[in-house]
Amino acid sequence: MTAPLAAVDRPASYIGKSVPRPNAKRLLAGRGQYVDDLRLPRLAHVAFLRCPHAHARLKSLDIAAATRAPGVVRVVTAQDLAGRYTPWVGVLTHFKGLKSPPQHPLVHDRATWQGEPVAAVVAESRALAEDAVALIEIVWEELPPLTDMAAALAPGAVPLHAELGDNLCFGRAIDAGAVDEAFAKADCVVEESYSFARHTGVCLEPRSILADFDPADGRLTVHCSSQAPHMMKEIFARHFHLPETAVRVICGDVGGSFGIKIHVYPDDMATVAIALLLGRPVKFVADRLESFVSDIHAREHRIAARMALAKDGTIAALAIDDVTGVGPYSTYPRTSAVEGNQVVGLTGAWYRCRNYRANLRVAFQTKPPTTQYRAVGHPIATSVTEALVDRAAAALGLDPVELRRRNLIPDDAYPWTTASGLKFEKLSHQAALEKLLTLMDYDGLRREQAELRRRNIHRGIGIACFVELTNPGPAFYGVGGAPISAQDGCTLRLDPGGTVTCATGVTEQGQGTETMVAQIVASALGLAMDKIRVVTGDTERAPYGGGTWASRGCGIGGEAALQGALALKANILDLAGAMLQAEPAALDLAGGWVVDRAGNRRIGLDEVGRAAYFRGDTLPPGVQPELVATRHYMPRQYPFAFTNGAQASYLELDVETGFIQLLQHWVVEDCGRVVNPLLVEEQIRGGVVQGIGGALFEECIYDQRGQLLNGTLADYLVPMAGEMPDIVVAHIETPTAESMLGAKGAGEAGTGGAPAAVMNAVNDALAPFKVRVTAQPISPWRVLAALGKG
Amino acid sequence: MGRGRLPRATFGMSDAVAIRLTVNGARVERLVAPRLNLVDFLRDELGLTGTHWSCEHGACGACTVLIDGALARGCLVFAIQLDGANVETIEGLTESGALAEVQAAFHARNAVQCGFCSAGMLLAADALLRRNPEPSREQIRAALSGNYCRCTGYHAIVDAVADAARERARRKP
Ligand code: FES
Ligand code: FES
């Protein structure tokens, strides 16, 4: 521990301990309760007819045969829903110039991507619903697809949405310092173009929603596989014109999310609309092909980048031009501006360079919407920056590590504001890099690499330094008008038996949220963890909060839990003081007991609980026990916390086949206070593997007509155990001083940094051939093409 | 989105077929539609929701069960193919204790996050340990490569399977 945390740094503290997750046993026994596992009376099933074209006008839609099909309850089209909802628009006022048209649950007259839902069949089973979908007679008039980003933005391009005037969804320019002058005076300029394919989240549990409307009491209950129950409640109430009191959202077990399950999807909204229309529970679970064409996609960038350096390796200037495609709509409510915005905000942010220019253009296209997915923008910003640094090092004849050493923001230079305007409270780039080099035995690996090269074995070493943006404050979304809460709450109750029930606004998708909260609460209250019950995911049981995204679960939810636990502790000690006729300040909690300063047990928490709830008659007059406490937390000093780290990849390249074998991966991560190393480490590793997926395998391949060519998990490659390396993780702890807990978040660092390390390693292996690969995923054919063997 | 998926239904009963099989040790008799898939049969007919749909295509392993003691992908099998078969799922194998060491090791190593892949992973890990009680890390990785996990980095899963192997060896008389 690098900073004192008196409240929980106690002998029996769980903070910093590798405690397994109590709630994981249920999942390992096959007793998870995902949405598709719920069984409700009168449940009907929804299947969608989706547009098979990238861009088409709906000429006619005949549902007569489908309506008569066996088991069909109702066939629903856009006409049936008209007037029953308010369409949504994916813009936020603080992204100046961001534009997007209103979006609807079902296509009215024009579809703008392959997979956009057009009609829904509600039937007694999913299969019967699908049978009837096939009976819908539909006539389309195909319209010209708009798949290429550059073509969409070219002068004279036909706007996808005529009312918006052009295909520029959003743009942002940054010009800091004296960029032109720095390039003019530079000793060395490197430049390169990069491209990043579209990929998607592939949650193993597809998006799932079960909406149940009870017309008798006017209440809508939605079980959904989501990261943000309160946000969804607000959205359902707002867009379906229901009072907030009438809507309850419950997120039970969630089978992976990664940012996929935090957006508003037309088919989800249609399912809710159908429940309201029919007054009975209806369920929609995306199948795998539907997931590929309707889940949000991510990335798809083309970037031209230049870096200017002095002879001594000082980075003098950096300039990037990013074009990214977001499909036909900016996604609601977070908008699709954030990915590109983070690319231009984060590129180069960990180096001292003050001269920075960036130009971002976000294009509409006729492909599925892209928006926030794990490590939003980070893999792009990191890959581009770190690739340029490696190129520059080669051009200057310096070791890539040495070039980084000379340019990283020094560990004693904080607080620091980047050229793009981001504020860093305190990071540890230099320490992280040095720790990484020791961990991986950098010099030893370089020797091994040189040795093997003589034997025609081509290994590469790639390093990436990076930052990760976490714990956003209200300036991220709320300020722009989104119903997205930056704060989170925790309510704790001492129960009569001396145990604690604790409800938190942050949610669990397997990261270990419930365990983390229980560790903090148990530590603060001097209780064993099995005396703590944590409740998440239900808008009627949990305090208001934003949920789990942007790696905020521990940094924000954990801090609320800590402050709430300390408030409950004060209440308990007040009551115990009255019962024992002692000064509360002279008492403490330990091992389930109220103890005195010397640690002597005075009274058990069970006795306190019993007296409060059952034997109020024994309490001194005027004493009113308050054994519930709630605290909320929202970071205010900094718009974001930032974490930092360094990663390294070691791999072997087969120059005949283009295949890459990953040998080992290392991560040094400074996520502030580490509450549970066991959980943080596998969280980071999971992030690394998702990053490697994007770097080497994952790509939603579209043809020129906007048709997805690989919509199955046999064709779309996700990383498998056999191709992944062991991943060594080490920590540096620089707690944020803004909170007592000091945690900053760890969910996305792996994904943000891994692609850069891997791409650098591939190019390091290719160095003897004087060729480079700058397009991700680095598929074997791309390696061979670079080697002139394509 | 229709047509793209494997058929999943308990309806269309006019051509229903009677099947008798053993599921988790219990005798089961049902009339099933020919197009009813094993995963839907387990989930909808028997309430065994621990077996999951994910890729619906034989690629991911989320639907893994044992059929007559051998690992099988539920999504690639129709219920009517199983007349006379012995099917075991995560629920039955948990109750019998067959997976106990593997489950304990997965828990201790945090080799589970969202849990959606876990049933398949556990069954695949157990099958590996039954045929190779002392697998290397590479062998573990290879054996689990038909089971996708999107949350963990696989590292903890490999650690857990190695631990379970050691634990089984220790318990052997
Ligand atoms: S659902 Fe059967 S293998 Fe994926
Ligand atoms: S734990 Fe989520 S897919 Fe493996």
Nearest CA in chain B to A514: B113
Q: Are A374 and A684 in contact (CB under 8 A)?
A: no
Per CB-CB distance under 8 Å, the chain A contacts of B111 are 682
Query: Which of A20, A29, A255 is closest, CB to CB, to B110?
Result: A20
- Ligand located closest to B52 CA: 1
CATH of the domain at A285: 3.90.1170.50
B126 pLDDT more than 60: yes
Nearest CA in chain A to B157: A721
Same domain, yes or no, for B116 and B80? no
Average pLDDT on A697-717 reads 97
Burial of A760: CB neighbours in 10 Å, binned 0-12, 13-18, 19+:
buried
Task: Domain of residue B149: give its range.
Answer: 97-171
Tokens of A21: 């997750």
Average pLDDT on A605-626 reads 96
Measured from the CA of A204, which atom of ligand 2 is nearest? 3
Single-letter residue type at A399: D
Same domain, yes or no, for B72 and B124? no
Same domain, yes or no, for B104 and B84? no
Q: Are A49 and A116 in contact (CB under 8 A)?
A: no
Same domain, yes or no, for A381 and A495? no
- Residue A319 CA to residue A538 CA, distance in Å, equals 46
Q: Is residue B134 part of a domain?
A: yes
Give the pLDDT score at A476. 85
Same domain, yes or no, for A562 and A612? yes
A361-405 pLDDT, tens digit each: 999 999 999 999 999 999 999 999 999 999 999 999 999 999 999
Q: Are A530 and A671 in contact (CB under 8 A)?
A: no
Do strands A72-76 and A44-50 pair parallel, antiparallel, or not at all (unpaired)?
unpaired
Q: pTM for the complete prediction?
A: 0.97
* A255 to B8: CB separation less than 8 angstroms, yes or no: no
A12 pLDDT more than 80: no
Query: Which of B9, B90, B137 is closest, CB to CB, to A127?
Result: B9
Do strands A56-62 and A110-111 pair parallel, antiparallel, or not at all (unpaired)?
antiparallel
Same domain, yes or no, for B12 and B79? yes
Same domain, yes or no, for B86 and B102? no
Q: Is residue A454 part of a domain?
A: yes
A672-691 pLDDT, tens digit each: 999 999 999 999 999 999 99
Average pLDDT on A215-243 reads 97
Give the pLDDT score at B2. 40
Nearest CA in chain A to B108: A20
Same domain, yes or no, for A341 and A378? yes
- E strand or H helix at A462, and its extent? strand A458-470
Burial of A353: CB neighbours in 10 Å, binned 0-12, 13-18, 19+:
buried
User: Hey, which residues 36-65 in chain B have their CB within 8 Å of chain A?
Assistant: 43, 47-60, 62
Domain ends where: A633, A664, A683?
Answer: A633
User: Strand runs (DSSP E) across chain B, as ranges?
Assistant: 17-23, 26-32, 64-67, 70-73, 86-88
Q: Are A65 and A119 in contact (CB under 8 A)?
A: no
Q: Quote the DSSP letter at residue A761.
A: H
Same domain, yes or no, for B22 and B58? yes
Per CB-CB distance under 8 Å, the chain A contacts of B137 are 726
Same domain, yes or no, for A521 and A458? no
Q: Are A198 and A711 in contact (CB under 8 A)?
A: no
Helices (H), A256-409: 266-278, 288-294, 338-346, 378-396, 400-407
Q: Are B158 and B102 in contact (CB under 8 A)?
A: no
Tokens of A783: 């390696």
Same domain, yes or no, for B110 and B61? no
Same domain, yes or no, for B14 and B68? yes
A348-357 pLDDT, tens digit each: 999 999 999 9
Same domain, yes or no, for A129 and A22? no
Q: Is residue A536 part of a domain?
A: yes
Q: Is residue B160 part of a domain?
A: yes
Same domain, yes or no, for A373 and A391? yes
Nearest CA in chain A to B111: A682
Dihedral, A739, A742, A744, A750 alpha carbons, nearest 10: 180
- Does ligand 1 come within 6 angstroms of the Cβ of B146? no
Same domain, yes or no, for B58 and B84? yes
Same domain, yes or no, for A719 and A653? yes
Q: Is residue A657 part of a domain?
A: yes
Give the pLDDT score at A1. 38
Distance, CA A510 to ligand 2 centroid (Å)? 8
Same domain, yes or no, for A606 and A517? yes
* B103 to A205: CB separation less than 8 angstroms, yes or no: no
Give the pLDDT score at B1. 41
| Residue B162 pLDDT class (50, 70, 90 cuts) | very high
R_g of chain A, CA atoms, integer Å: 28
CATH of the domain at B140: 1.10.150.120
Q: Are A141 and A111 in contact (CB under 8 A)?
A: no
A242-292 pLDDT, tens digit each: 999 999 999 999 999 999 999 999 999 999 999 999 999 999 999 999 999
Distance, CA A716 to ligand 1 centroid (Å)? 14
Question: Which of B3 and B143 is assigned the larger pLDDT?
Answer: B143
Q: Quote the DSSP letter at residue A786.
A: H
Query: Which of B2, B52, B53 is closest, CB to CB, to A133?
Result: B2
- Residue A432 CA to residue A422 CA, distance in Å, equals 20
Single-letter residue type at A714: A
Same domain, yes or no, for B12 and B89? yes
Give the pLDDT score at B172. 82
- Out of B40, B57, B89, mutate this one to test ligand 1's pocket (max ligand atoms within 8 Å of CB): namely B57
User: Hey, which residues 112-171 in chain A have their CB within 8 Å of chain B?
Assistant: 115, 124-128, 130-131, 133-134
Do strands A44-50 and A423-424 pair parallel, antiparallel, or not at all (unpaired)?
unpaired
A522-550 pLDDT, tens digit each: 999 999 999 999 999 999 999 999 998 87
Give the pLDDT score at A2. 40
- Residue A675 CA to residue A516 CA, distance in Å, equals 7
CATH of the domain at A350: 3.30.365.10
B173 pLDDT more than 90: no
Looking from the CA of A602 toward its CB, the CA atoms found within 13 Å total 22
Same domain, yes or no, for A518 and A433? no
Distance, CA A70 to ligand 2 centroid (Å)? 37
Give the pLDDT score at A716. 98
Tokens of A10: 């106690």
| Residue A5 pLDDT class (50, 70, 90 cuts) | low
Q: Is residue B31 part of a domain?
A: yes
User: Hey, which residues 66-85 in chain B have their CB within 8 Å of chain A?
Assistant: none
Same domain, yes or no, for B70 and B29? yes
The ipTM value here is 0.96
End-to-end CA distance of chain A: 52
Per CB-CB distance under 8 Å, the chain B contacts of A255 are 52, 114-116
Give Cβ neighbours of residue A169 (< 8 Å, ≥ 6 apart).
Answer: A98, A99, A100, A326, A330, A336, A337, A362, A363, A364
Domain ends where: B60, B93, B126?
Answer: B93
* Best CA proximity match to B39, nearest among B63, B12, B18, B57: B63
A198-219 pLDDT, tens digit each: 999 999 999 999 999 999 999 9
| A74 beta partners | A122
Give the pLDDT score at A473. 86
Q: Is residue B3 part of a domain?
A: no
Q: Is residue B67 part of a domain?
A: yes
Q: Is residue A468 part of a domain?
A: no
Cβ-based neighbour number of residue A343 at 10 Å = 27
- Residue A568 CA to residue A7 CA, distance in Å, equals 13
Give the pLDDT score at A478. 86
Distance, CA B152 to ligand 2 centroid (Å)? 6
Dihedral, B72, B73, B76, B79 alpha carbons, nearest 10: 70
Average pLDDT on B34-50 reads 97
What's the whole-number average pLDDT of chain A? 96
Domain ends where: B93, B127, B158?
Answer: B93
A550-575 pLDDT, tens digit each: 789 899 999 999 999 999 999 999 99
- Does ligand 1 come within 6 angstroms of the Cβ of B72? no
Report the percentage of chain A scoring pLDDT > 90: 95
Per CB-CB distance under 8 Å, the chain B contacts of A724 are 141, 153-155
Task: Domain of residue A507: give its range.
Answer: 6-32+487-633
Q: Are A766 and A773 in contact (CB under 8 A)?
A: yes
Same domain, yes or no, for A305 and A445? yes
- Domains contained in chain B, number: 2
Tokens of A146: 């708009």
Same domain, yes or no, for A387 and A447? yes
Task: Verify cis geometry, omega within 30 degrees of 0, for the bond prior to A415.
Answer: yes
Domain ends where: A633, A663, A692?
Answer: A633
Same domain, yes or no, for B62 and B101? no
Q: How many residues does chain A have?
A: 790
CATH of the domain at B59: 3.10.20.30
Give the mutation candidate from A288, A708, A710 for the B interface (greatest B CB count, under 10 A). Answer: A288
- Residue A172 CA to residue A765 CA, distance in Å, equals 36
A136-187 pLDDT, tens digit each: 999 999 999 999 999 999 999 999 999 999 999 999 999 999 999 999 999 9
- Domains contained in chain A, number: 3
| A460 beta partners | A651
What are the φ and ψ backbone dihedral angles of B141, each rounded to 5 degrees? -60, -45
Q: Quote the DSSP letter at residue A29.
A: T
- Residue A721 CA to residue B135 CA, distance in Å, equals 14
A452 pLDDT more than 50: yes
Helices (H), A581-671: 605-613
Q: Is residue A216 part of a domain?
A: yes
Same domain, yes or no, for A105 and A230? yes
Q: Is residue A711 part of a domain?
A: yes
| Residue A7 pLDDT class (50, 70, 90 cuts) | low
Distance of CA A281 to the CA centre of its chain: 30
